[in-house]
Amino acid sequence: MKRAFCKFISCLLTFSSSFAMAIPSQPQDDILQRLDKNADGEISIKEAVADPIILESFSRIDINGDGLISRHELTTVHVRRSHGNALN
């Protein structure tokens, strides 16, 4: 029984580490680099137009309501792009 449990834990750890490697560690940096055309470190509404999902969610991501999305705001709301282009 103990051996089967250890094998199960080993498989679980292998699966979870493989899954973690498939997800970018900092997706907010990818989004910021792609959309921040003027390189000011923030995404304006004009820059967000290039990404329909970010644009649609702009007000939810812009936590402080200043009309800009910062790296901190992207991190805070856990913006993640997946194959389905979902925003979590």
CATH number of the domain bearing residue 86: 1.10.238.10
User: Is residue 75 in some structural domain?
Assistant: yes
pTM of the model: 0.59
pLDDT at 79 > cutoff 90:
no
64 lies in a domain?
yes
Q: Where are the beta strands (DSSP E) in 18-78?
A: 42-44, 68-70
- Within a domain: residue 7? no
4 in a structural domain: no
Question: Which residue range(s) make up the domain with 71?
Answer: 25-88
Mean pLDDT of the chain: 74
CA distances from 7 to 1, 16, 78 (A): 10, 14, 33
Question: Count of domains in the chain?
Answer: 1
Percent of the chain with pLDDT over 70: 57
Residue of higher predicted confidence among 26 and 54: 54
